[in-house]
Amino acid sequence: MADGMPSPQLLEEYSQFFRLLSEPARLQLLCQLKQGPLDVAALMEATGFSQSHISRQLGQLQRAGLVSCERDGVRMIYRADSQLVDDLCALVQTRLRQRLEAQLQHLSA
């Protein structure tokens, strides 16, 4: 890394991670799993998504390290990496709040 710039490979990794988080369905699944561990049937009920759609999205979240799973008999139980998800959500909420406050101050002036 010259001058503190990430390598092209690292920039591609960053880009892939943010693309992963840009899908509303994956964000909805993360929010559901943030509440506690769930199986696919419970996620289907909570979101209205199909089993295949949920499985595909969970697979991507799992490969990114945002979701883990464990077998419970015949069911697979999924859980979010709560600390990372909490940190990401807090970071985004703080940024959005700051932006909205700045817009309100601008409108008030």
Residue at 88 is within a domain: no
Residue at 96 is within a domain: no
Residue at 92 is within a domain: no
The whole domain housing 35 covers 2-80
User: pLDDT digit string (tens) for 68-99?
Assistant: 999 999 999 999 986 888 888 788 889 989 99
Residue at 97 is within a domain: no
User: Which domain CATH number covers 39?
Assistant: 1.10.10.10
Residue percentage of the chain with pLDDT more than 90: 62
- Whole-model pTM: value is 0.77
Residue 97, CA distances (Å) to 15, 31, 33, 84 in order: 24, 19, 24, 20
Residue at 36 is within a domain: yes
Secondary structure of 27-87 in HEC code, one letter for each residue: HHHHHHHHCCCEEHHHHHHHHCCCHHHHHHHHHHHHHCCCEEEEEECCEEEEEECHHHHHH
Residue at 35 is within a domain: yes
**How many domains does one find in the chain?**
1
